[in-house]
């Protein structure tokens, strides 16, 4: 949760189309495509938990 808020505050969540956003990885070197339902980061692809990118997108959209 804290990571997600940080990402938003640092401008790491950029809305693209619809509810899809471009998000920045925690080391700032990569970007991912994230929607509230899915994310293409390594953690998101495993889909074992909701990664903080998705949390950030959900928070940013709220």
Residues 59 and 26: their CA atoms lie apart, in Å, by: 17
Q: Minimal distance in Å, beta carbon 62 to Zn ion?
A: 18
Q: Judged by CB, which is closer to Zn ion: 12, or 44? A: 44
Q: Judged by CB, which is closer to Zn ion: 17, or 48? A: 48
Q: Minimal distance in Å, beta carbon 55 to Zn ion?
A: 9
- Pick the closest to residue 57 from 19, 29, 10, 24 (CA basis): 19
Q: Minimal distance in Å, beta carbon 58 to Zn ion?
A: 12
């Amino acid at each position: 949760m804290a990571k997600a808020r940080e990402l938003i505050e640092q401008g790491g969540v950029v809305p693209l189309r619809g509810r899809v956003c471009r998000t920045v990885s925690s080391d700032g070197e990569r970007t991912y495509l994230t929607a509230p339902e899915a994310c293409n980061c390594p953690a998101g692809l495993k889909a074992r938990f909701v990664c903080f990118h998705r949390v950030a997108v959900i928070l940013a959209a709220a």
